Chains A and B, each alone.
Chain A
Amino acid sequence: MRARDVFGYSFSAIKLRKLRAGLTTLGVLIGIAAIVALLSITQGLQNTITMQLETGLATDTLIVSPGGGAFGGGQDGGGFGGGAFGGADSGFRLLVNDTQTINGLSTDILTSIAVIQRSGYINSTEHERVTTIVGVDFAEYKNIYSTTFVSESGEIPDNPDNNTIIIGKRVNERQNGTVLFTAGEDVQILWTNATARPPQNESYTAHVATVLQEVGGFAFGGPSDSNIYIPISTAQEFFNTSECEIIIVKLANSDQATIDAVSRKIVDEFAGEVSVISSTAVLNLLGSVFSIIELFLVGIAAISLLVAGIGIMNIMIVSLIERTREIGILKALGMKSRTVLAIFLGESVIIGVIGAVIGIALGWLLANIVATVLGSGAITIGMGGGAGAGGGLLSITPVLTPLVFLGAFGFGVGVSVIFALYPAWRASKLKPVEALRYE
Chain B
Amino acid sequence: MAPVVEAVELKKTYMLGKIPVEALRGVNLKVESGDFLAILGPSGSGKSTMLNLVGALDKPTAGTLLIDGVDVSKLNDNQLADLRRRVGFVFQFFNLIPRFTARDNVELSMSIAGVSKVERKKQAEDLLETVGLKDRMNHKPAELSGGQQQRVAIARALANNPRFLLLDEPTGNIDSKTAHEVMDIIKSLNEKGVTTIMVTHDQHLARAAKRTVQMFDGVITLDVVNGELT
Residue numbers in B under 8 Å from A336 (CB-CB): 77-78, 81-82
Residue numbers in B under 8 Å from A431 (CB-CB): 58
Q: Considering the chains assembled together, what is the distance between the CA atoms of A369 and B167 in angstroms?
A: 64
A1-43 vs B, CB cutoff 8 Å, 1 = contact: the mask equals 1100100010011011000000000000000000000000000
Q: Considering the chains assembled together, what is the distance between the CA atoms of A325 and B85 in angstroms?
A: 18
Chain B positions 150-167 with a Cβ under 8 Å from a chain A Cβ: 156, 160
A433 at the interface (CB under 8 A from B): yes
**Of A178-186, A327-335, A380-388, which stretch is located at the interface?**
A327-335
B187 at the interface (CB under 8 A from A): no
B144 at the interface (CB under 8 A from A): no
Q: With contacts A16-B99, A337-B78 known, is A2 near B55, CB below 8 A?
A: no
Whether the Cβ atoms of B57 and A334 lie closer than 8 Å is: no
**Of B28-36, B110-118, B193-201, B209-217, which stretch is located at the interface?**
B110-118
B52 at the interface (CB under 8 A from A): yes
Whether the Cβ atoms of A1 and B97 lie closer than 8 Å is: no
A394 at the interface (CB under 8 A from B): no
Chain B residues with a Cβ closer than 8 Å to the other chain, count? 27
Residue numbers in A under 8 Å from B97 (CB-CB): 326, 329
B139 at the interface (CB under 8 A from A): no
Chain B positions 77-116 with a Cβ under 8 Å from a chain A Cβ: 77-78, 81-85, 89, 91, 95, 97, 99-100, 108-109, 111-114, 116
What is the distance, in angstroms, from A199's C-beta to the closest C-beta of chain B? 89
A130 at the interface (CB under 8 A from B): no
Q: With contacts A334-B84, A337-B77 known, is A329 near B111, CB below 8 A?
A: no
What is the distance, in angstroms, from A356's C-beta to the closest C-beta of chain B? 26
Residue numbers in A under 8 Å from B117 (CB-CB): 5
Q: With contacts A12-B100, A433-B58, A436-B57 known, is A335 near B112, CB below 8 A?
A: yes
Partner of B112 from A330, A338, A433 at Cβ < 8 Å: A330
Residue numbers in A under 8 Å from B55 (CB-CB): 332
Chain A residues with a Cβ closer than 8 Å to the other chain, count? 26
What is the distance, in angstroms, from A4's C-beta to the closest C-beta of chain B? 8
Query: Among the interface residues A1, A328, A338, which one has the most CB atoms of the partner chain B within 10 A?
Result: A1
Residue numbers in B under 8 Å from A339 (CB-CB): 112
Q: With contacts A432-B57, A433-B58 known, is A335 near B81, CB below 8 A?
A: yes
What is the distance, in angstroms, from B29's C-beta to the closest C-beta of chain A? 20
Q: With contacts A339-B112, A433-B52, A436-B95 known, is A332 near B77, CB below 8 A?
A: no
Partner of B81 from A15, A329, A337, A433 at Cβ < 8 Å: A337
What is the distance, in angstroms, from B175's C-beta to the closest C-beta of chain A? 22
Nearest-CB residue, chain A, relative to B89: A332
Whether the Cβ atoms of A334 and B58 lie closer than 8 Å is: no
Instruction: List chain A positions with a Cβ less than 8 A from chain B.
Output: 1-2, 5, 9, 12-13, 15-16, 325-326, 328-339, 431-433, 436
30 contacts between A and B (CB under 8 A): A1-B114, A2-B111, A2-B114, A2-B116, A5-B111, A13-B99, A325-B95, A330-B112, A332-B55, A332-B57, A333-B84, A333-B85, A333-B112, A333-B156, A334-B83, A334-B112, A334-B113, A335-B81, A335-B112, A336-B78, A336-B81, A337-B77, A337-B78, A338-B78, A339-B112, A431-B58, A433-B52, A433-B57, A436-B57, A436-B91
